[in-house]
Amino acid sequence: MLGLGLLAAVACAVPLVDGVRQTRAVLWAAARGAVQLLAIGLLLGAVFRAPVAVLPVLAVMVVAATATVAPRLAGLPARGRWRRPAAAAAAVTSGAAVTGTVVFATGALPLGVRNLVAVGGITVGGAMTASPLAGRRFLAELGARRAE
């Protein structure tokens, strides 16, 4: 808590040097971040005590990633309301599943709840970042090669 307070004080003071008054916004962001980290810590503590809960946690990660990715792919041609979210879910899930399979099947990490949550979070987050980039690139190529 002392470290968080010190970092928040520095984050509030530094903008004041340039005359930027953002103290309230910085303090609000720090408080919100602390509450979010506390909530996630409590949730993960419960998951580590009840290993069967890892599947719902991974499902929530995929749903959150899909909800983030689908609007970012708004330019993709898709008929029907469900196709874009389904494509986003497939991209996020397949990217994370392939990576997780390789990591655990090769023995790079032992299969366990902690490793599954960590690798799942990292790979779903990476797929969440990569999917809109790939989709935008796909759209750019469709436009550039329309004549073909």
Output the pLDDT for position 125.
92
Average pLDDT, the chain: 88
Measure CA of the first residue to CA of the last residue in the chain; give whole Å. 60
Which residue, among 70, 126, 69, has the nearest Cα to 97 in the 3D structure? Answer: 126
CB 70 within 8 A of CB 88: yes
What does the pLDDT look like over 64-90, one tens digit per residue? 999 999 888 887 777 777 888 888 899
Q: Average pLDDT, stretch 45-50?
A: 89
State yes or no: pLDDT of 3 exceeds 90.
Answer: no
Q: Average pLDDT, stretch 86-109?
A: 92
* Banded pLDDT at 15 (limits 50, 70, 90): confident
The backbone region for 43, taken as left when phi is positive above 0, alpha when psi lies in -120 to 50, beta otherwise, is: alpha
Output the pLDDT for position 115.
93
Output the pLDDT for position 25.
87
CB 53 within 8 A of CB 119: no
* Banded pLDDT at 97 (limits 50, 70, 90): very high
Tokens 């797929």: give the residue: 127
As a whole number of angstroms, the distance between CA 146 and CA 127 comes to 27
CA dihedral 92, 93, 96, 101 (to 10 degrees): -160
SS3 75: coil
As a whole number of angstroms, the distance between CA 121 and CA 115 comes to 10
Output the pLDDT for position 8.
84
State yes or no: pLDDT of 103 exceeds 90.
Answer: yes
Supply the DSSP symbol for 73.
T
Prediction pTM value: 0.72
107 sits in which H/E element: none
